[in-house]
Amino acid sequence: MFKKSLILVLCLLSASTLFSCSSKKQNDNDGKIKVSVTFDAMKEFTQAVGGDKVEISTIIPDGTEPHDFEPKPRDIAALSNANVFVYNGMDMELWANDAVIASGNKNLVSVEASKGVTPIDNTDSGTTSDQLYDPHVWISLKGAEIEATNIKDALVKVDPSNSSYYEKNCDNFVSQLESLYKTYQVKFNASSSKDFVTGHAAFAYMCRDFGLKQNSVEDVFADGEPSAQKLKELIDYCKANNVKTVFVEDMVSPAVSNTLASAVGAKVEKIYTIESSEGGKTYIERMKDNLSEIYASLS
């Protein structure tokens, strides 16, 4: 769980001092747009739209839980020389605005990729008042369409001479997302079962796309293990509904999911949250895997 601290504020102020005197190249000699993104899904969308005209740096390293990440002075360096900063928003990166200020880059174009998405409220108990929304917009084909379009608009603003290139790439990406959405819309509409069980409550926006419901071991912000009562409720649910698959994600400990699966005689299958790069697969490949596995679990 992220909590803004005095240490973070001082860290960002220090970064501002360190980088305010650095040269802020808007492009290198290769002419590429410098884009700093927060985590893997934002990188995937930016690459899909920007193609070979963008140079992307990712702030949150693979294997680091984005919900808990706090930037260090070196993490601001990319922003001080970037043209565009892409972050998800929806309370995913509560440090984003402070980081932009600390970078001292007055020409930086910031993109809250989730802007325009109807938010899903965060109903987790125990989270801070700053965490009002479920941030997992990108694990939704419809959400990804909006995020890619917002990124496209920023690239066009920075590099209008190549607007047609960004527009074409965005259209192609959205077309792929729509094709996958339509395929699984038909499948899920035909399924009598709509509920699945996963380790981390990260799939609400995807559920909204297809009229599904997630039942999860951990909450939206993957904060701690479930109570004995919650685990008992999940066991009872799985038994009552003949659940044969419990999903688990790379960024969440599988221990409780494994315990749950063992208790109800279910198998454990991997599902992607796309917070880090995984298995060399693209966003669309991982979303296709997610939807295929969830659909199979409902059959």
pLDDT tens digit sequence for 259-275? 888 989 999 999 999 99
Strands 133-134 and 109-112: unpaired
By mean pLDDT, which of 34-48, 168-182, 224-238 is the weakest?
224-238
Average pLDDT, integer, range 247-251: 80
Q: What is the pLDDT of residues 93-102, one digit of tens each?
A: 999 999 999 9
The answer to whether 245 touches 266, Cβ cutoff 8 Å, is: yes
Per DSSP, 27 falls in state B
pLDDT of 11 > 60? The answer is no
Superfamily classification of domain 192-298: Nitrogenase molybdenum iron protein domain (3.40.50.1980)
54-58 sheet: strands from edge to edge: 54-58, 33-37, 84-87, 109-112
Strand-pair partners of 141: none
The answer to whether 205 touches 137, Cβ cutoff 8 Å, is: yes
pLDDT of 47 > 60? The answer is yes
∠57-29-23 over CA atoms, to 5°? 65
The answer to whether 121 touches 147, Cβ cutoff 8 Å, is: no
Region of 61 please: left (phi>0), alpha (psi -120 to 50) or beta: beta
The answer to whether 59 touches 36, Cβ cutoff 8 Å, is: yes
Strands 120-121 and 213-218: unpaired
- Cα 267 from Cα 215, distance rounded (Å): 16
Q: Is 193 buried (19+), middle (13-18) or exposed (0-12) by CB count in 10 A?
A: middle
Q: pLDDT class for 141, splitting at 50, 70, 90?
A: very high
Q: Which residue type, as a one-letter code, is found at position 150?
A: N
The answer to whether 90 touches 117, Cβ cutoff 8 Å, is: yes
| CATH of span 6-179 | 3.40.50.1980
Strands 84-87 and 109-112: parallel
Per-residue pLDDT at 220? 60
Q: pLDDT class for 124, splitting at 50, 70, 90?
A: low
pLDDT of 112 > 70? The answer is yes
What is the Cα gyration radius of the chain? 20
Indicate the average pLDDT of the chain: 86
Query: CATH 3.40.50.1980 in the chain, residues?
Result: 6-179, 192-298
